Amino acid sequence: MERGKVKKEKRKETEKKKIREKGKEEKRKELEQKIKEKEKEKQEKQERSKRKEDKKEKRTEQGKETKKEKEQFKGQEEEEENKDSIVTVTNTPLEPLEKNKQILVLGLDGAGKTSVLHSLASNRVQHSVAPTQGFNAVCINTEDGQMEFLEIGGSEPFRSY
């Protein structure tokens, strides 16, 4: 009888051990799953941060390009202003060239604006030209298209224009 009791107790102990081991394995599996989920979250965060950095870099590059364009435009304007007596400025310097061009002619009085335009239009040199009062418009037809010159008198009353 005692032997039978001992055997039963041994069986119970082995069963208990088995149950404990199963519980431990389940806990291990749960921990492993949690660790994997955390790693995935970290990777996703890193990818998001990378995308944000890429977007920022693109924006800064675009800003640099626009700044360069502005600087080029300013440089062109300054070069045109530094010309001696007659200054010609096109209305749309950065747009594609059109057939009809409008050219503004500026300069001090007596510089020879009207004389140059007259010689261009008529192929003749006119010596005594009266000072331009207000503005003087000259249209010249060329092979490529029309060129419209607008001269503003260089006398002091017209310099404000």
Binding site feature residues: 107-114, 132, 154
Which residue, 62 or 85, is less far from Mg ion as judged by CB?
85
The mark string for 114-153 relative to ligand GTP (x by CB under 6 A, - otherwise) is xx-----------xxx-xx--------------------x
Q: State the Cα angle at 111 between 139 and 82, rounded to 5°.
A: 90
List strand residue ranges (DSSP E) for the chain, in order: 87-90, 101-106, 135-141, 146-152
The residue within the footprint of ligand GTP, chosen from 21, 26, 71, 109 (CB under 6 A), is 109
> What does the block give as tokens for 149?
């010159």
- 114 belongs to the binding site for Mg ion (CB under 5 A): yes
The residue within the footprint of ligand GTP, chosen from 80, 112, 121, 147 (CB under 6 A), is 112
The residue within the footprint of ligand GTP, chosen from 23, 93, 110, 145 (CB under 6 A), is 110
- 101 belongs to the binding site for ligand GTP (CB under 6 A): no
> Is residue 45 classed as helix, strand or coil in its secondary structure?
helix
> What does the block give as tokens for 108?
């001090």
The mark string for 64-103 relative to Mg ion (x by CB under 5 A, - otherwise) is ----------------------------------------
Cα–Cα separations (whole angstroms), residue 62 to 23, 56, 69, 71, 78: 60, 10, 11, 14, 25
- Phi and psi for 103 in degrees, rounded to 5? -125, 125
The residue within the footprint of ligand GTP, chosen from 76, 90, 102, 155 (CB under 6 A), is 155
Separation between Cα atoms, residue 101 and residue 144, nearest integer Å: 10
Q: Could you give the maximum distance between any two Cα atoms of the chain, in Å?
A: 148
Binding-site ranges for Mg ion (CB under 5 A): 113-114, 132
Binding-site ranges for ligand GTP (CB under 6 A): 107, 109-115, 127-129, 131-132, 153-155
